[in-house]
Amino acid sequence: MKSSPRRERPESTAQSPHVQAKKSLGQNFLHDTGVLARIAALAQPAAGSGIIEIGPGTGNLTEYLLKLGAPLHTVERDASLVPILRARFGSELPIHLGDAAELDWPALLADPGLGPHPVVVGNLPYYAAIPILFATLEAKPARLVFMVQKEVAARLIGHASSPEYGQISVKIQMLADIRIGLRVGRGAFTPAPKVESAVIVLEPLESPRFSIKDWPRFSKLVTDGFAARRKTLVNSLLLSGHDPARVLAALDALGLDPRVRGEALDLKQWAGIAHQLAL
Ligand code: SAM
């Protein structure tokens, strides 16, 4: 997986209406115009397609996305921000009020006004980044461009046997190509979050890698396999009811050590275990 890490220093600040940021909704407004412009550049949809922005907040990123000239829809959970967005962008901007993790994404992506290959973009609320990522990725937009906490980005791109590698790394990398588009410091936000951030770019695959047939069962296998990180894969899967003899036979067929841990298996080996277990 490619990465082009780049730490951004604040250049200048976007003028945004003053609001009391709600910590419970992950509101850290991005004011660094250099970062805003770079996120918009990463989001650029194909000609004739539009953008869906998650969490427009007071509209700082929205302003830069609108400059791209593509149709734009927004999804915001905080109803109190709607008058601010309306004052800034007028009544034409579509605002879908609700939780982006619960939205009917296939229906929204199919909106004819968004063209054939809409992209999804957002400076995500960090408390809900993972559920929002899975909800959107499963609906397969053309691209996802998301600001997330630096540690979450590291988990998403983590490789086998690295400390960051876990069930989320396996699942996301099975479903998409992923890279880091930009690293962003705390000073780019108001209020400054406690953590550093990164913008990740995901290109969803047409179907999961290595011909995984039954995604829900594969996903559960991976969850179970990482459930007890310090245990061997056999013992971890035993805890969730898998037959250890079958797991041992699967490891043997793949030429893997019977004491291997889930965190040591790469994507191909996880797929191999699933095929051996006939999942
Ligand atoms: N895009 C703005 C910016 O960059 O300045 C705001 C980003 S702020 C980190 C996250 C935004 O997501 C806030 O506007 C917040 O209200 C909104 N939000 C929080 N939880 C949400 C959810 N579950 N679904 C949709 N939006 C949510």
Which tens digits make up the pLDDT trace of 141-183?
Answer: 999 999 999 999 999 999 999 999 999 999 999 999 999 999 9
- Shared domain check, 218 and 197: no
Q: Is the CB of 56 under 6 A from ligand 1?
A: yes
- Shared domain check, 245 and 223: yes
10 Å Cβ neighbour count for 42? 17
The answer to whether residues 102 and 90 touch, using CB atoms and an 8 Å cutoff, is: no
Q: Which of 185, 206, 227 is the last residue of a domain?
A: 206
Could you tell me which residues come within 8 angstroms of residue 268 by beta carbon, excluding any fewer than 6 positions away? Answer: 210
In a domain, 171, yes or no: yes
10 Å Cβ neighbour count for 241? 7
Q: Is the CB of 54 under 6 A from ligand 1?
A: yes
Residue 163's nearest CA partner among 153, 155, 171 is 155
Q: Is the CB of 135 under 6 A from ligand 1?
A: no
Q: Is the CB of 101 under 6 A from ligand 1?
A: yes
Please give the Cα distance from 54 to 73 (Å, whole number): 9
Rounded CA Rg of the chain: 20
Query: For position 14, what pLDDT does the model report?
Result: 62
- Shared domain check, 200 and 233: no
Residue 35's nearest CA partner among 192, 188, 179 is 188
In a domain, 183, yes or no: yes
In a domain, 179, yes or no: yes
132, amino acid identity: I
Please give the Cα distance from 259 to 256 (Å, whole number): 8
Q: Is the CB of 59 under 6 A from ligand 1?
A: no
Instruction: Kindly tell me if the per-residue pLDDT of 248 is higher than 80.
Output: yes
Each residue of 56-82: pLDDT tens digit?
999 999 999 999 999 999 999 999 999
- Shared domain check, 96 and 159: yes
The answer to whether residues 137 and 172 touch, using CB atoms and an 8 Å cutoff, is: yes
Query: For position 11, what pLDDT does the model report?
Result: 44
Query: For position 138, what pLDDT does the model report?
Result: 93
Q: Residues 105-111: what's their mean pLDDT?
A: 97
Query: For position 18, what pLDDT does the model report?
Result: 75
Handedness of CA 55, 61, 65, 67 (dihedral sign): positive
* CATH number reported for the structural domain that contains residue 160 in this entry: 3.40.50.150
In a domain, 1, yes or no: no
Q: Return the residue whose CA atom lies nearest to atom 23 of ligand 1.
A: 99
Cα 31 to averaged position of ligand 1 atoms, centre (Å): 14
Q: How far is CA 135 from the centre of its chain?
A: 9
- Shared domain check, 118 and 165: yes
* CATH number reported for the structural domain that contains residue 257 in this entry: 1.10.8.100
Show the domain range for 230: 211-276
Q: Is the CB of 128 under 6 A from ligand 1?
A: yes
In a domain, 2, yes or no: no
By percentage, how much of the chain surpasses pLDDT 70? Answer: 94
> Given the CA of residue 36, which atom of ligand 1 is nearest to it?
4
Cα 94 to averaged position of ligand 1 atoms, centre (Å): 16
Please give the Cα distance from 54 to 121 (Å, whole number): 6
The answer to whether residues 8 and 35 touch, using CB atoms and an 8 Å cutoff, is: yes
Q: Is the CB of 125 under 6 A from ligand 1?
A: yes
Q: Return the residue whose CA atom lies nearest to atom 20 of ligand 1.
A: 25
Q: What is the mean pLDDT of the chain?
A: 93
Query: For position 102, what pLDDT does the model report?
Result: 97
In a domain, 132, yes or no: yes
